[in-house]
Amino acid sequence: MLKTIYATEEEIPEGYKDLYTERNGQWELTGIQGVKTQADVDRVQQALVKERTDHKATKTALQAFGELDPSQVHDRLENYESMEQQLEALKAGGAFDEEKMEPIIQSRVRQALGPIEREKTTLQRKLDEANKKITEKDGEVGTLKMTITTGSIERAVSDAAVKAKVLPTAITDAVMRARSVFEITEDNRIITKDNSGSTPGLSPDEWFKEQSEKAPHWWPASVGGGSRGAGGPGSQYSGAANPWSREGWNITKQGQFVREHGEVKATEMAARVGAKLGDTKPPAAAAA
């Protein structure tokens, strides 16, 4: 078996001497491409040790400059000769040269401001990171508030749908529509918003009464073996929910009902409580 290194040429087996080269007093296997000898490994290790030693020496030398950065070292060395000349001139009683001292003063100012600028940069980075975290938290809080608000509205609308005897299969549709219609006020009331397509200020219960005209498919064809009334879905607009009734008299809502449903349905609604379109005051008594 061939060795990668022989101490003498005579030790190399016959016929293989051409594969070896003398290096540092010994014969190394160099004639086979890709084969690394222990000598190769030793050379790499020696180079690595030298690199580490040089690095340590450089680091030790730089420690003598303390907290100075390379630019500050350069400035100080650049002005050192001029400072020496100025000091010698002063000792000899010579005149003070302001022009020569100006760059030295500027260098001193830069050296003094350097740490401050670095600290400012560090603090600005920390401030930016803090502002980013605050923005992220604000977004999380906003999302959480929206989730809570939406959940409260959905529960209130679902409860009202059950009370209004809405078909179970239609409750999801009703809740989906209600998301863009309702809001929670500062006093925690859940009411319909302005410009939502529904009468503003309605509670979920009142809203379902209004929806009986707009979405009659939410209710079964009959309730308790009888129809929902000769007047159809609009019959649920009774009592205070009917803007023509004595207890629910509201001219603004009357006008809105006319715009949304037309005069024919509005006339029917008014007639149910003994009123008619154009009345300026509520009927004397609610219709039976």
Q: Give, for 61, the enclosing helix (H) or strand (E).
A: helix 38-63
Which of 272, 263, 157, 248 has its CA nearest to residue 203? 157
pLDDT at 280: 87
Contact 183, 198 (CB under 8 A): no
pLDDT at 74: 61
pLDDT at 29: 80
Q: pLDDT tens digit string along 233-242?
A: 444 555 557 8
Which of 207, 144, 141, 134 has its CA nearest to residue 174? 207
Longest dimension (CA), the chain: 136
Phi-psi region of 249 (alpha: psi -120 to 50; beta: other; left: phi over 0): beta
Mean pLDDT per segment of 10 residues, for the chain of length 288 residues? 84 85 86 66 76 78 63 62 67 65 76 83 83 73 71 91 90 90 92 88 92 86 41 49 87 88 84 86 66
Would the pTM of this model clear 0.75, i.e. be above it?
no
Amino acid at 177: R
pLDDT at 97: 66
Question: What SS3 class is residue 20?
Answer: strand
pLDDT at 246: 86
Q: pLDDT tens digit string along 47-86?
A: 778 878 887 777 777 666 666 566 666 666 666 666 666 6
Q: How far is CA 229 from CA 111, 241, 272, in A?
A: 92, 16, 11
Q: 23 — phi, psi (to 5°)?
A: -140, 125
Q: How far is CA 92 from CA 88, 96, 99, in A?
A: 6, 11, 19
pLDDT at 286: 45
Which residues lie across from 85 on neighbouring strands?
A: none
pLDDT at 78: 62
pLDDT at 141: 64
